[in-house]
Structure 1
């Protein structure tokens, strides 16, 4: 089952109702954060391409700074997408495959 919508459309409210019934929730936003954790391949590629300037002091990716860089430069945005899209999809597929409920809720943000 898929839930799709922009900010404030109720995705979290609806997914919380399913989670209360022990249905696995697979959230693309969480997958997007997970695949850029330190040491992960996408993280390593991003740091190699953009440099340490996109890191916080603790080594975590500074998503706000990265966002500014990629929205100003199409080539940088395309590079970032090339490094993250596949791993995000794979992470989502893995989560669904490992779901211990009869079905899973896939949460996707738009806009």
Structure 2
């Protein structure tokens, strides 16, 4: 038969084990919160990366348009530079589609 001291020792061991399990639970909860915050930051980074990819995919068109506009400078002669400084053709940007969040009045 177990003595009173043995029961008290088992209770103390169980309480220590419970304390460690509660600490583990709190740490796991904290880690879960940190991972959720990290996921949110990664989602934000992914959205930013998509935006950068969209800009970079269009960059070729931008440089091509600038190149085409500056080709007109090659037809000027030296006397055109004496009378004034010729400039490249104007580039005009026209929006082809409307954003879905714009409202019409």
Bin for the TM-score computed over the shorter chain:
under 0.3
Between the two structures, name the one with larger relative contact order (CA 8 Å, sep ≥ 6).
1
Tell me the TM-score normalized by structure 2.
0.25
Q: Which has the larger radius of gyration?
A: 2
Tell me the TM-score normalized by structure 1.
0.24
Structure richer in strand, relative to its length = 1
